[in-house]
Chain A
Amino acid sequence: MTEAVVIGVGNRWRRDDAAGFEVIDQLRVRLGDQIALVESDGEPTRLLDAFALAPTVVMVDAVVTGADPGTIHRFTDDDLPDRMGIGQSSHLVGLIGTIELGKLLGKLPNGLVLIGIEATDFDNGEGMTDAVIAGVAAAVGAVLAELAS
C-alpha cells in the first residue's frame, strides 16, 4: 500500500456531516495503522499540517452538489467545484480555500483527491440519513481504490 494520509472532514454533531469521520472509523478497522488517518473539523492550519504527513493525500467529506443523496464524487485538486454547499468547509478559509493555500505553500506536491459523499441533512444532532450511511460504505471502497492505484 502506498504511503498515504486519509483525512476525514466533518462534524459528528451535524447529522450527515459525520460521513467523513465514519469513513475514517471504518478505514481504521480495516487498515489499522498502515496509513495515517486524520479527523479534521476543517480548521485550515491543522489541515495544512495533515497534508504534509504523506506524499499521497486523500480527503473525504460530505458535499452538496444537487446529485442523489449518497452519490460518491471524485474530485482532484485541479477540478474542485467553486462551492460545494454547506456540509464541508467548516470554517473560515473553507476546505477549498485550504487546499488552494496548501498548493500555494508547496504542501501538496502530488496534489490531492477528494472523495465527496452527497449529503442532505446538516441539522444539529447525531445520526446520518440512510442514503449517506450507504454512501459511507461506498466511499470506503473508493478510498481503498485510490490507495491501491
Chain B
Amino acid sequence: MTSDVRKIDVDYLARVEGEGEMHVKVVDGVIEDVRFGIFEPPRFYEAFLEGRPYSDAPDITARICGICPVAYQMSSVHAMEYAFGASVTGQLRELRRLLYCGEWIESHVLHMFLLHAPDFLGYESAIHMAADHKDVVELGLRLKKAGNAIVTVVGGREIHPVNVKTGGFYRAPTKKELLTLVPELEWARDAAIDTVKLVSGFTFPDIEQDFEFVALSHPHEYPFNDGRIVSSKGLDIAVSEFNDYFLEEHVERSNALHSRIRERGAYHVGPLARYALNFEKLTPTARDVAIEVGLGPVVRNPFKSIIVRGIETLYAVEEALRIIDQYEEPAAPAIEMNIHAGVGHGASEAPRGMLYHRYELDSNGRILKAQIVPPTAQNQLTIEDDLRTVLEASLHLPDDELSWVLEQSIRNYDPCISCATHFLTVNIERINS
C-alpha cells in the first residue's frame, strides 16, 4: 500500500486584514480536519487600556483597525456612557450614525472592489483586475472616497478619526460643512445601485448554510450603534447581557478567542446577519434594488455577502443624505458625564459585524478591566463550518483551484484579522493510503 501526501502552501495572500492561516487535511477523500487560525492584537489592547482614563478608550481602541476605527470608537463610547448612566440623543446621535455611514461605505467598497471582486472575476488581485477593468476599479475608488469624505468632515480626519469622545464630539460640524458632501453622495447613490447590479451578476457557488444570524436590532432603524442583540433562532437580549449568552474560548491554534452561543455553538455576524434581521428597516430604494437583483429578505449563501455589502452601501449613502438634510447644529458638541464607578457595555455594528466592548471603571473613571469582542473572532467557527461545506462540494478540484475557492470563502467574511500582519497561508494536505 502506498501513501501519498500532498501539501500545498499558498503563501502571501494579503487580501484579508491581518494574518491568517488555514489548514486542511484530507485522507482518502474524506475531510479529516479544517482549521482556520488567526492572530489578532485586541488582547494586547485590552491589557493596554487597564489603568488608563475612560476618555482614552475611543482613541486607543480606534488604533486596533485602520479600516474600522469608527466601530471601535462607537462601541467604547457607548460602553462608557452606559456605565455613567448617560444617553446621547438628538443631533449628536444622528452625527454618530452619519460617521458610521462613512465607515460602512469606505469599508464595504474597499472589500467589494479591491478584495472580493477579483475572486469572482478570476483575477489573482485587484492589480491584475485593474489591467482589464480599469473602469470598475475607478468606480470603486470614487465611491469609497465619498465615504472617506464623511469620515473626514465628521471624524476630524480620514484615518483614525480623532473627533469622537464619550458624550458626543469634540467639535460638531456646521450644516455648511455637511452640505459640501451632498453632490458626491448623490452621485454615490446611483453608483451604489450600479455596484449592486454589477456584483449580483457574478457567478456564485451554490451553497446555503443554516446560520444563526446575530445582529443588533432597533425598532425603527437599520442598526449602527443602538438596539438589542437578536438572533434568527430567537435570542433577544440587552447588550449588557452579552456575557450571559455568549462564550469566548481559547483555542490552541489561534490567539484569538473563539466565540459561541452558550449551549448552541457557532453564529454569524456581519452584513448577512444584519440584513436578515433588519430587512424591513432598509430604505425603500435599497429594498427594491435587493428584490430587483433577486435577493430575498434572507440570504443564506455566504458568497452572496458581496451583494448584501452593496445593498448596505446603498443604504448608508441614503441614510447619510437623510441625516445631512435634517441636520441642525447642536447647542453643544457633547453632553457632560457624571463620572462614577461602574460597569459599561457597548455594542455597535462594525462593517464586519457586531463589536462588543465591556469596561469596569473605578470611581475616577479609570479602566480596571477591558473586554473587546471583535466580529471576526465571533465568526471564526462559522468560517470553519463554511470551509468544511465548500470543501465537501469541491474536493474534486485540483489543489490550486481548491485553494482559490477556500480563500474566497474566507473573504466572504471580510475578516478583519486586525492589522496584525499580512498573511493568509493555505495548507492542503491530501493523504491517500
The B-contacting residues of A in range 88-137, CB under 8 angstroms, are 89-94, 97, 100-101, 104-105, 122, 124-125
Give B92-136 as 1s and 0s: 1 = Cβ < 8 Å from A's Cβ atoms: 000000000000000000100011000000000111001100100
Contact present for B14 and A97 (CB under 8 Å): yes
* Chain A CB within 10 A, most for which of B12, B115, B141: B141
The size of the chain A interface, using a CB distance under 8 A, is 27
Q: Report Cα–Cα, A114/B21, bound state, in Å.
A: 30
Contact present for B127 and A97 (CB under 8 Å): yes
A56 at the interface (CB under 8 A from B): no
- List of B residues within 8 angstroms of A71 by Cβ: none
Contact present for A41 and B17 (CB under 8 Å): no
Q: In chain A, what residue has the closest Cβ to B147? A: A45
Q: Report Cα–Cα, A49/B131, bound state, in Å.
A: 19
- List of B residues within 8 angstroms of A86 by Cβ: 421-423
Contact present for A101 and B126 (CB under 8 Å): yes
A83 at the interface (CB under 8 A from B): yes
B50 at the interface (CB under 8 A from A): no
Q: Report Cα–Cα, A97/B16, bound state, in Å.
A: 14
Contact present for B141 and A89 (CB under 8 Å): no
Q: Report Cα–Cα, A7/B131, bound state, in Å.
A: 25
List 4 extra interface pairs beyond A91-B18, A125-B44, CB under 8 A: A86-B423, A91-B14, A92-B114, A105-B141
Contact present for B159 and A105 (CB under 8 Å): no
- List of A residues within 8 angstroms of B63 by Cβ: 13
Q: Interface size class for chain B?
A: 20 to 34
Instruction: For A105, give its contact among B66, B134, B423 (CB under 8 Å).
Output: B134
B67 at the interface (CB under 8 A from A): yes
Contact present for B15 and A93 (CB under 8 Å): yes
Contact present for A91 and B17 (CB under 8 Å): yes
Instruction: For B127, give its contact among A40, A42, A45, A100 (CB under 8 Å).
Output: A100
Contact present for A43 and B67 (CB under 8 Å): yes
B309 at the interface (CB under 8 A from A): no
Contact present for B14 and A46 (CB under 8 Å): no
Give B396-433 as 1s and 0s: 1 = Cβ < 8 Å from A's Cβ atoms: 00000000000000000000000101110000000000
Q: List 12 A-B contacts (CB under 8 A).
A: A45-B110, A45-B148, A48-B141, A49-B145, A83-B12, A86-B423, A89-B14, A89-B422, A91-B18, A94-B14, A100-B127, A101-B127
The total number of A-B Cβ pairs within 8 Å is: 80
Looking at the assembled complex, report how far the CB atom of A56 sits from the nearest CB atom of chain B, in whole angstroms.
22
Known: A13-B63, A86-B421, A93-B114. A124 touches B44 (CB 8 A): yes
A8 at the interface (CB under 8 A from B): no
Q: Report Cα–Cα, A92/B422, bound state, in Å.
A: 7
- List of A residues within 8 angstroms of B127 by Cβ: 93, 97, 100-101, 104
The A-contacting residues of B in range 129-171, CB under 8 angstroms, are 130-131, 134, 137-138, 141, 144-145, 148, 158-160
A44 at the interface (CB under 8 A from B): yes
B41 at the interface (CB under 8 A from A): yes
Instruction: For B66, give its contact among A43, A48, A89, A94 (CB under 8 Å).
Output: A43
- List of A residues within 8 angstroms of B160 by Cβ: 41
Q: In chain B, what residue has the closest Cβ to A97? A: B127
Give B270-287 as 1s and 0s: 1 = Cβ < 8 Å from A's Cβ atoms: 000000000000000000
Interface residues, chain B, with chain A CB atoms under 8 Å away: 12, 14-18, 41, 44, 63, 66-67, 110, 114-115, 125-127, 130-131, 134, 137-138, 141, 144-145, 148, 158-160, 419, 421-423
- List of B residues within 8 angstroms of A100 by Cβ: 127
Known: A13-B63, A46-B159, A49-B145. A91 touches B422 (CB 8 A): yes
Contact present for B422 and A105 (CB under 8 Å): no
Q: Report Cα–Cα, A83/B126, bound state, in Å.
A: 17
Known: A97-B14, A101-B137, A105-B130. A122 touches B421 (CB 8 A): yes
- List of B residues within 8 angstroms of A92 by Cβ: 14-17, 110, 114-115
Q: Report Cα–Cα, A124/B19, bound state, in Å.
A: 14
The B-contacting residues of A in range 37-65, CB under 8 angstroms, are 40-46, 48-49
- List of A residues within 8 angstroms of B125 by Cβ: 93, 97
Q: Report Cα–Cα, A83/B423, bound state, in Å.
A: 12
- List of A residues within 8 angstroms of B110 by Cβ: 43-45, 92
Q: Report Cα–Cα, A89/B145, bound state, in Å.
A: 21
Q: In chain A, what residue has the closest Cβ to B158? A: A46
Contact present for B144 and A91 (CB under 8 Å): no
- List of A residues within 8 angstroms of B137 by Cβ: 101, 105
Instruction: For B14, give its contact among A48, A93, A124 (CB under 8 Å).
Output: A93
Q: Report Cα–Cα, A42/B18, bound state, in Å.
A: 12
- List of A residues within 8 angstroms of B419 by Cβ: 11, 41, 90-91
Q: Report Cα–Cα, A11/B65, bound state, in Å.
A: 11
Give A66-97 as 1s and 0s: 1 = Cβ < 8 Å from B's Cβ atoms: 00000000000000000100100111111001
Contact present for B66 and A104 (CB under 8 Å): no
- List of A residues within 8 angstroms of B421 by Cβ: 86, 122
Contact present for A46 and B148 (CB under 8 Å): yes
Contact present for A105 and B41 (CB under 8 Å): no
Contact present for B159 and A93 (CB under 8 Å): no
Known: A91-B422, A97-B14. A45 touches B130 (CB 8 A): no
